[in-house]
Amino acid sequence: MRYSDIRRYLKPYSIVANRTTTVNHAFAAAIAPCDPYDEQKVRDAVRHLGQDPNGDLVCVYCGAKAETWDHVHATVQDKKFSGFGHRLGNLLPCCKPCNSRKGNKVWSSYLDSLDLDAVELTRRKGLIEAYLAQYRLLDAIPEQFHEYQQLQDLRQQVLKIFAQADTLAEQLRRKASTA
């Protein structure tokens, strides 16, 4: 850490700016379809990735110990549900650093950015491509339903309330600093 890193702490916190992504994700994740847990299907999927379902899983990207599951395709795109849910074909075992660094990047681009030799890169890409072809499902975005628009309106209201709270917080900071 450098002394100048303190800069990010020496500024007012914004409710709406710091929570927009969280709110968008919460609303998208709430309508994203999810597969029921089926142990045999999960075990088969892990085998399709060339891993042993009875052992510790490894990150499909870098090979480190897996600690989480990466959504291959983000559940949020353009602030709304992307059409990819919490489905077996949209989840890959992943280490936390890769999950964080990959973010919303295309999985193959992220894999290309890693320091892997050509043979290993080709092997990993092949496993993931075969897995996605076997399991991936794109879900319909329910935009045609009246309830979907109501949900989007509520999301906007939440963000508007956050913006109003930011305005009040700024007023309070100013008053407190002059009191």
pLDDT digits (tens, 9 = 90+) for 125-134: 999 999 999 9
**Is the residue at 70 inside a domain?**
yes
Same domain, 19 and 100: no
| pLDDT recorded at residue 107 | 96
| pLDDT recorded at residue 83 | 86
| pLDDT recorded at residue 10 | 82
**Is the residue at 1 inside a domain?**
no
Nearest-angstrom CA–CA distance, 137 and 86: 10
Same domain, 65 and 145: no
Same domain, 150 and 67: no
Structure tokens at 132: 């996605």
Same domain, 48 and 93: yes
**Is the residue at 129 inside a domain?**
yes
Which DSSP string do the residues of the chain spell out, in sequence order?
--GGGGGGTSS---HHHHHHHHHHHHHHHHHS-BPPP-HHHHHHHHHHTT--TTS--B-TTT-SBP-EEEESS-SEETTEE-S--B-GGGEEEE-HHHHHHHTTS-HHHHHHHS---HHHHHHHHHHHHHHHHHH--PPPP-TTSHHHHHHHHHHHHHHHHHHHHHHHHHHHHHHHHH-
**Is the residue at 61 inside a domain?**
yes
| pLDDT recorded at residue 77 | 87
Same domain, 114 and 41: yes
Same domain, 67 and 94: yes
pLDDT < 50 regions, the chain: none
Nearest-angstrom CA–CA distance, 177 and 140: 51
Same domain, 41 and 106: yes
Same domain, 131 and 53: yes
**Is the residue at 5 inside a domain?**
no
Measure the CA angle with vertex 53, ends 49 and 55; round to 5°.
110
Residue position matching structure tokens 């052992």: 55
CA dihedral 66, 67, 73, 79 (to 10 degrees): -160
Nearest-angstrom CA–CA distance, 57 and 50: 10
Same domain, 24 and 94: no
Total number of domains constituting the chain: 2
**Is the residue at 105 inside a domain?**
yes
Q: Which domain holds residue 166?
A: 14-32+141-174
**Is the residue at 4 inside a domain?**
no
**Is the residue at 2 inside a domain?**
no
Same domain, 68 and 130: yes
